[in-house]
């Protein structure tokens, strides 16, 4: 059964039977801040003022029962049981999304092991996709109602295909049991996108420091290529951290881009080599005595993201200029 949802400042939209509030909003070109769309980050929390929602599989850690009792809900998990009136939390830029969420299909045209337990997939899309550098798509897992999120690693100018970097999750339903086990060149894939608030779209006034851990490189690669193509920043520094050299990839590409305006720093935490050694965040801290006037974009596992945020803040980067996306492996 469909229901009307009215969120203050976001305007009204309608949900179809079983459709999440976030999905309905983004498909109607209404913006609700979100990051994971999987119920793990809490970015899409809102407060129900009138009506009722089904919280479905919302996690207790992200949305405790006490919060549900006072009206809080996750837009990416909840479905309305009645018409709903609610409000988003905090200061929210309630702008129209730049790109409407939609269903996509394509065919795998490239599959390559680029690093330890890391695949590069390229999927040629049936129709071009408009997206912002940094956003992601969700792949439908065949034979399952579940989807998994993967950041788009190519810049938006290459809109006919998407490049994804997939790290093996041991026992993972999407990675070990599907993508690594059997997904081959020529096979068709169903997806939806674009999703996510992590994006680089505006010209940057000061230096930009991007810090990636593992396949957290994917959205930052899209941002670097997009920024260089469109002259969005004069001074870009990309740090890519891994444990050993078999964890790094795309080094040749980034080396070829080095020059005035772009610096590439690969960092290994468990191996001495000709390059930087240690935690990627320590390399950033060693290179910048102050990050005043800079912007930071971070993507990787949660501990690395937290460490990078800490480093940027310690170096006096304005919190409003720190943008982050955490990769949490899904089973
Ligand atoms: Fe809803 Fe992350 S919890 S977007």
Residue 97 within a domain: no
What pTM was estimated for this model as a whole?
Answer: 0.93
pLDDT tier for residue 327 given thresholds of 50, 70 and 90:
confident
pLDDT tier for residue 126 given thresholds of 50, 70 and 90:
very high
Residue 95 within a domain: no
**Same domain for 184 and 215?**
no
CA of 318 to the centre of ligand 1 (A): 24
Q: Is-contact 241 248, C-beta < 8 A?
A: no
Domain-ending residue, one of 140, 164, 195? 195
Residue 29 within a domain: yes
| DSSP class of 177 | I
Segment 34-39 shows an average pLDDT of 90
Residue 213 within a domain: yes
Q: Which of 38, 46, 328 for mutating ligand 1's site (highest number of atoms within 8 Å of CB)?
A: 38
CA of 323 to the centre of ligand 1 (A): 16
Segment 151-168 shows an average pLDDT of 97
Asked if the model's pLDDT at residue 196 lies above 90, the reply is: yes
pLDDT of residue 300: 96
**Same domain for 164 and 218?**
no
Asked if the model's pLDDT at residue 33 lies above 80, the reply is: yes
pLDDT of residue 142: 96
Contacts of 151 (CB under 8 A, 6+ apart): 134, 135, 136, 164, 165, 196, 215, 218, 219, 222, 299, 325
Segment 142-151 shows an average pLDDT of 94
274-322 pLDDT, tens digit each: 888 999 999 999 999 999 999 999 999 999 999 999 999 999 999 999 9
Contacts of 177 (CB under 8 A, 6+ apart): 171
41-56 pLDDT, tens digit each: 898 999 999 999 999 9
pLDDT of residue 241: 97
Q: Which of 33, 42, 89, 138 for mutating ligand 1's site (highest number of atoms within 8 Å of CB)?
A: 42
Domain-ending residue, one of 160, 195, 230? 195
**Same domain for 84 and 106?**
no
Closest atom of ligand 1 to CA, residue 76: 1
Residue 304 is part of which domain span?
Answer: 208-326
Q: Which residues line ligand 1 (CB under 6 A)?
A: 34-37, 39-44, 62, 74, 76
Give burial (CB, 10 Å; 0-12/13-18/19+) of 87: middle
For residue 98, whether the previous peptide bond is cis, meaning omega lies within 30 degrees of 0, is no
Closest atom of ligand 1 to CA, residue 40: 3
Q: Which of 32, 37, 328 for mutating ligand 1's site (highest number of atoms within 8 Å of CB)?
A: 37
pLDDT tier for residue 10 given thresholds of 50, 70 and 90:
confident
Asked if the model's pLDDT at residue 9 lies above 80, the reply is: no
pLDDT tier for residue 331 given thresholds of 50, 70 and 90:
low
Query: What does the alpha-carbon distance between residue 31 and residue 10 come to, in Å, rounded to a whole number?
Result: 7
CATH of the domain at 169: 2.40.30.10
Asked if the model's pLDDT at residue 115 lies above 70, the reply is: yes
**Same domain for 238 and 317?**
yes
pLDDT of residue 280: 95
CATH of the domain at 75: 3.10.20.30
Segment 217-246 shows an average pLDDT of 97
Q: Is-contact 163 122, C-beta < 8 A?
A: yes
Cα Rg of the chain, angstroms: 20
The mean pLDDT value of the chain amounts to: 94
pLDDT tier for residue 202 given thresholds of 50, 70 and 90:
confident
Nearest to 129 by CA among 109, 149, 157: 157
pLDDT tier for residue 131 given thresholds of 50, 70 and 90:
very high
Give burial (CB, 10 Å; 0-12/13-18/19+) of 272: exposed
Residue 93 within a domain: no
CA of 42 to the centre of ligand 1 (A): 5
CA of 26 to the centre of ligand 1 (A): 13
76-102 pLDDT, tens digit each: 999 999 999 999 886 555 556 789 999
Residue 62 within a domain: yes
**Same domain for 217 and 310?**
yes
**Same domain for 216 and 313?**
yes
CATH of the domain at 274: 3.40.50.80
Asked if the model's pLDDT at residue 234 lies above 90, the reply is: yes
**Same domain for 141 and 243?**
no
**Same domain for 161 and 82?**
no
Closest atom of ligand 1 to CA, residue 36: 2
**Same domain for 226 and 161?**
no
54-75 pLDDT, tens digit each: 999 999 999 999 999 999 999 9
Closest atom of ligand 1 to CA, residue 33: 4
Q: How far apart are the first and last CA of the chain?
A: 31
Other beta carbons within 10 angstroms of residue 177's beta carbon come to 15
Show the tokens assigned to 218: 């994917």
Query: What does the alpha-carbon distance between residue 147 and residue 281 come to, in Å, rounded to a whole number?
Result: 31
Segment 95-116 shows an average pLDDT of 92
Domain count, the chain: 3
- Strand pairing category for 3-8 and 161-167: unpaired
Closest atom of ligand 1 to CA, residue 75: 1
pLDDT of residue 93: 52
**Same domain for 80 and 118?**
no
**Same domain for 221 and 309?**
yes
**Same domain for 59 and 110?**
no
Residue 187 within a domain: yes
CA of 75 to the centre of ligand 1 (A): 7
Domain-ending residue, one of 54, 88, 122? 88
């Amino acid at each position: 059964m469909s229901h009307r949802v009215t969120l203050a400042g976001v305007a009204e939209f309608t949900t179809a039977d079983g459709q999440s509030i976030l999905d309905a909003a983004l498909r109607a070109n209404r913006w609700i801040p979100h990051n994971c769309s999987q119920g793990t980050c809490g970015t899409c929390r809102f407060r129900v003022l009138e009506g009722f929602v089904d919280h479905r599989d919302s996690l207790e850690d992200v949305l405790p029962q006490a919060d549900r009792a006072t009206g809080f809900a996750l837009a990416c998990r909840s479905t309305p049981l009645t018409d709903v009136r609610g409000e988003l939390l905090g200061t929210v830029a309630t702008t129209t999304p730049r790109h409407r969420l939609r269903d996509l299909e394509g065919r795998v045209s490239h599959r390559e092991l680029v690093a330890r337990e890391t695949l590069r997939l390229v999927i040629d899309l049936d129709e071009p996709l408009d997206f912002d550098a940094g956003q992601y798509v969700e792949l439908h897992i065949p034979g399952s109602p579940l989807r998994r999120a993967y950041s788009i690693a190519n810049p938006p100018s290459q809109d006919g295909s998407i490049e994804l970097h997939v790290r093996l999750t041991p026992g993972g339903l999407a990675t070990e049991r599907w993508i690594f086990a059997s997904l081959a060149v020529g096979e068709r894939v169903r997806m939806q996108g674009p999703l996510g608030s992590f994006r680089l779209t505006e010209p940057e006034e000061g230096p930009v420091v991007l810090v990636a851990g593992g396949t957290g490189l994917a959205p930052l690669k899209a941002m670097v290529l997009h920024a260089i193509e469109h002259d969005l920043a004069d001074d870009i520094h990309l740090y890519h951290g891994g444990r050993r050299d078999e964890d790094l990839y795309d080094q040749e590409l980034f080396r070829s881009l080095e020059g005035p305006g772009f610096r590439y720093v690969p960092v290994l935490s468990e191996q001495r080599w000709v390059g930087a050694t240690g935690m990627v965040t320590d390399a950033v801290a060693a290179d910048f005595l102050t990050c005043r006037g800079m912007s930071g974009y971070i993507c990787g596992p949660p501990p690395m993201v937290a460490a990078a945020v800490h480093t940027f803040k310690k170096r006096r980067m304005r919190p409003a200029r720190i943008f982050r996306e955490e990769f949490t492996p899904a089973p």
